[in-house]
Structure 1
Amino acid sequence: MERLNLDGWLPIRIWQQAGEWRVDWCWFGDTPLHQPFFREAVDAALRLPFNQAFRRQTPLAVLSEWRAISPGLEPSAFIFHASRCGSTLISQMLAQLDNHIVISEPPPLDTLLRSDLPAAERRSAIAGLLSAYGQRRRGVEQRLVIKLDAWNIAELPLLRECFPATPWMFVYRDPLEIAVSHSRRPGMHMVPGMIGASGLDDGLPFDGREAYIARRLGRLLEMAVAHCRDYEGLAVNYRELPGAMAGRLAEFFALDAVQREQVFAAVGRHAKQPTEVFVGDSQSKRREASPQLRECVERWARGPYEALGGGFSVESDDAIASRLTPTIDLQ
């Protein structure tokens, strides 16, 4: 173990092979992770000639061993979300800060959270994985923020076992707008069977795409209501963004006065497609919703949305844009 050296390497995949759990590593050196999603940073790194010539795979236990040799930052915040609701904007704003490491929806974490590993081994592996992500690769990092996949709200109690003191938030949006977004372009958790067994499963038969989306969304919001109550989570409505990053979210993330200004450097572009300018779509989504989708959302998702504190007045996209300088993407 004394010769183990993974400086500059990050775990990019965890899988089971012939009964043994393995870790695939990729060399990032001191390159910061500024992409909207971790998988995009991985794709960029894998194009480097070094990573095309050299690959590194280890047993899962190496995560704990590397943590013992070179402990990384402990997570300072977790971002959970309902999907298509502003969480990417928050993570991109934080990624503007040199002393922040922001890891957005890393597949290896989802793999471990939903694995069948023994409880103690799984907790150790999760702690080791986040320690690897929290390595001070540039020497200036002070905080580690993890944004999880939307369906990982079901695994929040497990993550709390590993990091009971880490604050967490849940970002959400009017469920009709989320449902329309998934009707246009469904996320992985809104396609039957795509993510495998999940806490979003309700055991009911598939009875149409719109009902399926609304049921999944409703279950996700229900779990968020329960977890915010039981584990003291901070519920953040889409309509609070981005202004809350200069107010209560700045306090949540412990941003100083200079950082509160720096984070707004991300404002003005599409959060998931930074080369594009944001065009508001809340009103168009509500107009696009079919009567059946509206009925399904009201039945399955409206109640938990209101329980989260979702009673915000509906504003037009122009009204939202008028209080944002410049306009931004709130996805």
Structure 2
Amino acid sequence: MVVDLAQITEKTKAYDKSLKLQNRSDVRAMDPTGFVFHESRVGSTLVANSLTAMNPAANRVYSESNPINNALKSDNPQLFRDVVYLMGRTNRIEEQNMFFKVSSIGSKRISVMREAFPNSLDICLSGPVQTMMSHLDPAKVDVQKNGRIMAVCTRARRTVEYDGLIDKLLDDIIPNHFGVTVDDKARQLVFEVSKTYSKAKTRSVDVNWVEDSEKKEAHSTPEIRGASELFLSQSYTELKKYSV
């Protein structure tokens, strides 16, 4: 069966509005609080986990969801708005914030999100060598992947450096950029979840964070360092002017 999502969304909006006018429902659609765009292995899962952990009742976090990924691929801002509306419906009073962590490939479609919503977004980005090492076999450099990384670098409104990510999230990005209050309880919950960071569930995030970055640098080949300098250094230098 094939359905028209635009018609479904319009009917859903009309239904929600009619019930609200009759005081028969508390259903509403949350606006997106923020989007997290990223390259792979630069802390995006930790960001999503932190946003969830700090207040699970208030924060709804979608992590690399297929509807969002597919809507971005369409290059259709209206379709993207419709998908976000449907995913943002809630009747829970305590739910106040909605975040989307987009798949790394979706970083090429930042312009679609930006046209659909004038909301803030962040890219968690490591140094050029570390980013290249996350993508490439040290024995082979793929120019197409390099180009995608460079494209992501140049489209960020706000960027977050790989090192010291937790402190930057708690002290700046979440309260100042996303506009979400971080109290002592939320801070403690984020620190707790960071101890079992993302895909490395048994390792301390602080130890893993430093060792991972240094390991990538140490294991990089002269060819990868050269490719990083050639393809990424100019964009990365410009990007750092706006990063935290």
TM range (shorter): 0.7 to 0.9
Match of 1:263 in 2: 190
For 1:92 and 1:289, the matched residues in 2 are separated by 29
For 2:163 and 2:225, the matched residues in 1 are separated by 20
Query: Which string of whole-angstrom CA distances, capped at 9 and with x for unpartnered residues, describes residues 235-280 of structure 1?
Result: 111113111122112322322313233322311113135x332533
Match of 1:250 in 2: 174
Match of 1:111 in 2: 70
Match of 1:213 in 2: 145
Match of 1:202 in 2: none
For 2:127 and 2:85, the matched residues in 1 are separated by 35
1:308 corresponds to which of 236, 239, 242 = 239
For 2:89 and 2:49, the matched residues in 1 are separated by 19
Q: Which has the higher contact order (CA 8 A, sep 6+)?
A: 2
What SS does the corresponding residue of 2:46 show, helix, strand or coil?
A: helix
For 2:242 and 2:12, the matched residues in 1 are separated by 47
Contact 1:73 1:134 in 2 (8 A): yes
Contact 2:64 2:102 in 1 (8 A): yes
1:283 Cα deviation after fit: 1.5
For 1:154 and 1:65, the matched residues in 2 are separated by 31
Paired letter, 1:148 = V
| Aligned: 1:59 with 2:10 | no
Paired letter, 1:143 = N
Contact 1:93 1:265 in 2 (8 A): no
Distance 1:277 1:288, change over 3 A: same
| Aligned: 1:171 with 2:124 | yes
Alignment of 1:16-27 (within 5 A): 22=2
Match of 1:93 in 2: 50
TM-score of the superposed pair, with normalisation by structure 1: 0.60
Runs of 4+ more than 4 Å apart: none
Aligned alpha-carbon RMSD (Å) = 2.6
1:134 Cα deviation after fit: 1.5
TM-score of the superposed pair, with normalisation by structure 2: 0.79
Query: Which string of whole-angstrom CA distances, capped at 9 and with x for unpartnered residues, describes residues 144-192 of structure 1?
Result: 011112233332222122212x22222211121111122259xxxxxxx
1:218 Cα deviation after fit: 2.1
Paired letter, 1:59 = D
1:135 corresponds to which of 82, 85, 89 = 89
Query: Which string of whole-angstrom CA distances, capped at 9 and with x for unpartnered residues, describes residues 53-89 of structure 1?
Result: xxxxx43232343244344101011111232211211
Paired letter, 1:111 = N
1:291 Cα deviation after fit: 1.6
| Aligned: 1:183 with 2:136 | yes
1:92 Cα deviation after fit: 0.6
For 2:137 and 2:52, the matched residues in 1 are separated by 28
Paired letter, 2:122 = M
Q: Which has more helix, going by share of residues? A: 2
Please, which runs of 5 or more residues in structure 2 have no aligned partner?
17-27
Distance 1:311 1:153, change over 3 A: closer
Alignment of 1:75-90 (within 5 A): 75-90=32-47
